[in-house]
Amino acid sequence: MTFYLLGTGAAVSDPHRTTTMFVVEEAERLILVDCGGDALQRMLAVGLDPSKLDAVILTHEHPDHISGYPLLIEKLWLFGRRRPIPVYGPAQTLDVARTLFQAFSTDRWDGLPDRIHNPVALEPDSDVLKTEHLTITASQVDHPVPTIGLRFENSAGEVLAYSCDTAKSPAVVELGRNADVLIHEATGSIAHVHSSPEEAAETAAEAGAKRLILVHLPPALAEDDLADARKNFEQTEYGEELGSYGIG
Encode pLDDT of 127-147 as tens digits. 999 999 999 999 999 999 999
Provide the CATH number for the domain around residue 109: 3.60.15.10
Cα gap 208→231, rounded to integer Å: 15
The string of DSSP codes covering 166-213 is -SS-HHHHHHTTT-SEEEEE-S--BTTTB--HHHHHHHHHHHT-S-EE
For the chain, the domain total comes to 1
Q: What is the pLDDT of residues 178-209, one digit of tens each?
A: 999 999 999 999 999 999 999 999 999 999 99
Identify the pLDDT of residue 224.
94
- Cβ atoms of 120 and 114 closer than 8 Å: no
Q: Which domain holds residue 65?
A: 2-246
Identify the pLDDT of residue 206.
98
- Cβ atoms of 210 and 237 closer than 8 Å: no
* Of the candidates 32, 36, 96, 33, the residue with the CA atom closest to the CA atom of residue 65: 36
B/e letters for 17-30, b = 16+ CB within 10 Å, e = fewer, are: bbbbbbbbbbeebb
Identify the pLDDT of residue 77.
98
Q: What is the DSSP letter of 105?
A: -
pLDDT < 70: residue spans in the chain = none
**Residue 203: what are its φ and ψ, rounded to 5°?**
-65, -45
* Of the candidates 181, 197, 201, the residue with the CA atom closest to the CA atom of residue 4: 181
Identify the pLDDT of residue 28.
87
Percent of the chain with pLDDT over 90: 98
